[in-house]
Structure 1
Amino acid sequence: MLTRLLSGDRPRSLVLTVILLAILGALAFAPFLFPGVRSLETAARICIFIVLVASYDLLLGYTGIVSFAHTMFFGLGAYGVALASDAMGRGWGALAVGTVAGALAAAVLAAVIGMFSLRVRAIFFAMITLAVASAVAVLVSQLSAITGGEDGLNYSIPRELTPAFRLGEVMGVRINGKLLNYYLVFTCCLVLFLVLLRVVNSPFGRVLQAIRENEFRAEAIGYRVVYYRIIATCLSASVAALAGSLFAIWLRYVGPDTTLSFTIMLDILLMVVIGGMGTIYGAVIGAAIFVLAQNYLQTLMGSAAEATAGLPLVPDLLNPDRWLLWLGVLFILSVYFFPTGIVGRLRTGR
């Protein structure tokens, strides 16, 4: 049953299996294991970014396509929910309409971009996606009457998903709408992750890997490379939009900086590289490490600086304001010691 659920793609490493199970368990029971608003926020972000990174790995790691528009598709899903909720009011129907509309818009836009640019060199596709993503970000910022501009949009979601909806208390944890919202995000992300795992281990996924390795050979044996690339791009964009919809439902706020920023695109690239390209499991480890570092590295550095206050230079090096520097150092070390990503290293043992 477990093998079928994992689509036959086992971790193939005892250490990797333990790490993945630990992350799954921590996310599944996060509200009870790590009580507090900040820890729940971190866990929800990890869930969403696992799906976002896995959907990007479908393009980069499995198909060999470099795209800089993934945050654009992420933003389409988020703004779909925001605009639908703003127009239709609080309700489950608004969430459903916004989610479906965002995913469809992302798929259509990805198909249009793909049809015009995937027939030529990969670098041309990368440049086109960068240009389109930048144009969309500028457009969203300027259409303040619709999108809220730089200020973004605040909107209402069903009361059952807000802290105002209370059901009681279990093991010292309040069972309220925020908790239900988290488990909605967790469950949907788990389902989307398993769907992507099924896709990359299907005959379709094998063709994508063949195209990545040698597109001319794949074309010679009868596969329409362009069509497969377009389908992969549309699928990746749709899943990214669904992740954006979940992010919007969780935050109840959408703005250019939270969904369309190029910084998020760079974060996705880092997570893919850290976890391991061409390994869907890499998205789990890469997203977990990166989001935890983003949220807690600064705090840990502050504690370390206080503990070493009597030493020369060390407190200055561990100043919390330098957390981005050390995050960069951690990334360089991870690439040096894990050139195929953490999952690749654990699976091969070298």
Structure 2
Amino acid sequence: MVKNASALQSPEENDFNYFYDAPGAVPGTLKIDPNAHPPEIVLIDYNPEGACRVHLKQPEDVTAYMVSASVSWVDVRGFGDEDILNRLGQTFKLHPLVLEDVVNVPQRPKVEDYDDQLVIIAQMVVPKPNGVGFWREQVSLILGKTYLLTVQEEPEHDCFDPVRERIRFSKGTIRERGADYLAYTLLDSIIDGFFPVLEDYGERIEDLENEVVSRPTPKTLDKIHQIRRDLLLLRRAIWPQREAINALIRDASPLISRDVQIYLRDCYDHAIQVLDMVETYRELASSLMDVYLSSVSNRMNEIMKVLTVISTLFIPITFIVGLYGMNFKYMPELEWRWGYPLVWSIMLSIEAGLVYFFWKRGWFRPSA
């Protein structure tokens, strides 16, 4: 079976398996999801003097901007039209294997050098509005000399709005730099997008710690399993992404200036921080499972202790009433006037003695 997910997925809907071709498939074959969003092409063209934002109807409309001296950011959102995607590949002269990696998602984050183009595959995570969980999406960046082509799975969610605002209002030095700096800025936004998601998981783990200790339930176990699964997905997203950024720093490319490589080091540091947080939270989630099992075992021990005390209290009096319940004719106490009060006195004395003994042993105190 060929894995393909052209729509943005949450961890509950997709197990983050990477795409693979069916045996014997023709290289460069595109697998289009019939439910995928139709492509939306947005161009942001800018230079130190100004910036403009244009919605392009056809992929060929970008040609006039690509030959200019300004930087052109072509953002394609959606995979729902194979014809437009093929025409986009022809316009940017993309290798068929590049277009396959861009469209057939999800791919493992990586970097590939095609001489006049640098292809960067990344995974982006976006926190859900309710603050529980996240969406994930593949973002492909094709870097040219004066342009950057980005391809996203859908038009609704991304973490690039701060970059768009910086270009629009000329904040910082982004409009004074080239397309390689724009690629770094988007990569840095993708990596930084992991931090809000991980902060939410950190708070959820803290809440679970209190719940596991004080009132563990089967739902608590489900929550632990879900967090562990989500953190595994985040790890599978950030681990190869760190390697890809390291490749950009290590392998010199004429499309990336020395100055931008220095900025990429900071991006690499952020990726390491994200990976450290993921590993730490995974260890905490694993320890929560041990704490949960210990809490359940302690509760079971408390229940068994109560039942044991009750059973022990009734064992001696059960023996006595059973003894005098035997149908023997000659039992001396049966004819005695004070036999019945004496038996009651003996049973109550035994019960009082057992209760005092258990109290002295600390059996009536709750376990720490």
The TM-score normalised by the length of structure 2 is 0.21
The TM-score normalised by the length of structure 1 is 0.22
Structure number with higher relative contact order (C-alpha < 8 Å, ≥ 6 residues apart): 1
More helix by share: 1
More strand by share: 2
- Larger Rg over CA atoms: 2
